[in-house]
């Protein structure tokens, strides 16, 4: 596995992905007057509504402070047809109905430019199982897994994957419905918890090691962030509530190694057809092998969020980051 991963990383660097990697990004000249009337989609109906409200309001304030004619728009409170009065849309929705291709499809039909990935890439990245299928086919390393149902032989899953295991809904974010299973007897209850959030549930090999995230802006991989938490894993509380989570940026890796992982993160992003911006999360095991966990196409923008941290390390303020994302709004 390690030699194959190194080969993929070297291929990515040599084919030019590394040209979009570094601790600094190109200077950015805001053109706020050229964006027209902007809707910031926030809230929504998903289990991540509260996080989305925080992200959306942070984005809204940043746009307004930059002189953009920006307005909050909660799809759970307004008809989508009312978006026709806007020139662009900044999607700050998280989870279902905002990050899974549905809102992107509606905006495509209305011909309104929007931020982030398109319909197919959004739907694909939201589905952790199908994301894994694409990555496995292309040689991007990802933990071994099994799909769980009520008829699953849970003992056999433990025999095949070992312990610990991560059990998660395939199409939820923010660690909602996720559990770390330490004992075989806990696997079925963990499945039942995850199944409350999604019909498709994954049991995934736990990778012991360091956790990293790679923020992507356009075709640039921003500086990596290493995450450290005293929690059993990087759960909802560690992400949005706790003050004990540590975020290390610079991440501490040697520059050449960091560039290699950034190249692989860009590859993972491109394979799913993603565009605009996103965030790839991966683990690094004791041997130094990376294992990609998921690709987030509408990352958080709260005071605990990772993309703003990486952007700041690359020389972009929060306001500049938001404008850069908005600048890449598209249809099609």
Residues marked active site are found at 48, 174, 240, 279, 281, 294, 296, 300
What does the buried/exposed string (b/e) look like for 128-151 if buried means 16 or more CB atoms within 10 Å of the residue's CB? Answer: bebbbebbeeeebbbbebbebeee
Cα dihedral 304/307/308/314 (nearest 10): 140
Q: What Å distances lie between residue 10 and 6, 51, 69, 259, CA to CA?
A: 6, 37, 44, 10
Contact 76, 43 (CB under 8 A): yes
Identify the sign of the CA torsion 90, 93, 98, 99.
Answer: positive
Among candidates 201, 251, 211, which has minimal Cα distance to 232? 211
- Bridge partner residues of 72 (DSSP): 40
CA distances to 65, 89, 124, 181 from 68, in Å: 7, 12, 32, 47
Strand order in the sheet with 37-41: 69-73, 37-41, 88-91
| DSSP secondary structure letter of residue 223 | P
């Amino acid at each position: 596995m390690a030699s194959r991963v190194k080969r993929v990383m070297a291929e990515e660097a040599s084919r030019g992905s590394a040209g979009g990697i570094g601790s600094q990004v190109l200077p950015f000249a805001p053109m706020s007057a050229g964006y027209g009337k902007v809707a910031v989609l926030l809230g929504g109906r998903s289990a991540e509504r509260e996080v989305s409200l925080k992200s959306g309001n942070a984005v809204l304030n940043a746009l307004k402070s930059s002189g953009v004619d920006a307005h909050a728009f909660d799809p759970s409170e307004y008809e989508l047809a009312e978006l026709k009065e806007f020139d662009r849309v900044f999607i700050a929705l998280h989870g279902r109905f905002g990050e899974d291709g549905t809102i992107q499809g509606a905006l495509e039909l209305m011909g309104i430019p929007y931020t982030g990935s398109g319909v197919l890439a959004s739907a694909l990245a939201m589905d952790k199982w199908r994301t894994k299928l694409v990555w496995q086919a292309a040689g991007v390393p990802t933990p071994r897994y099994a799909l769980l149902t009520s008829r699953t032989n849970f003992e056999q899953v433990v025999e095949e994957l070992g312990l610990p295991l991560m059990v998660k809904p395939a199409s939820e974010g923010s660690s909602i419905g996720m559990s770390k299973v330490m004992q075989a007897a806990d696997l079925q209850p963990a499945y039942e918890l995850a199944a409350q959030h999604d019909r498709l549930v994954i049991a995934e090999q736990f990778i012991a090691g360091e956790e990293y995230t790679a923020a992507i802006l356009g075709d640039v991989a921003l500086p990596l962030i290493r995450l450290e938490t005293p929690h059993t894993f990087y759960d909802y509380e560690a992400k949005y509530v706790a003050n004990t989570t540590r975020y290390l940026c610079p991440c501490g890796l040697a520059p050449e190694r960091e560039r290699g992982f950034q190249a692989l993160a860009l590859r993972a992003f491109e394979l799913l057809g993603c565009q605009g911006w996103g965030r790839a999360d991966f683990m690094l095991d004791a041997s130094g092998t990376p294992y990609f966990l998921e690709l987030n196409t509408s990352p958080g923008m709260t005071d605990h969020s990772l993309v703003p941290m990486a952007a700041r390390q690359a020389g972009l303020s929060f306001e500049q980051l938001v404008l850069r994302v908005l600048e890449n709004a598209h249809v099609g």
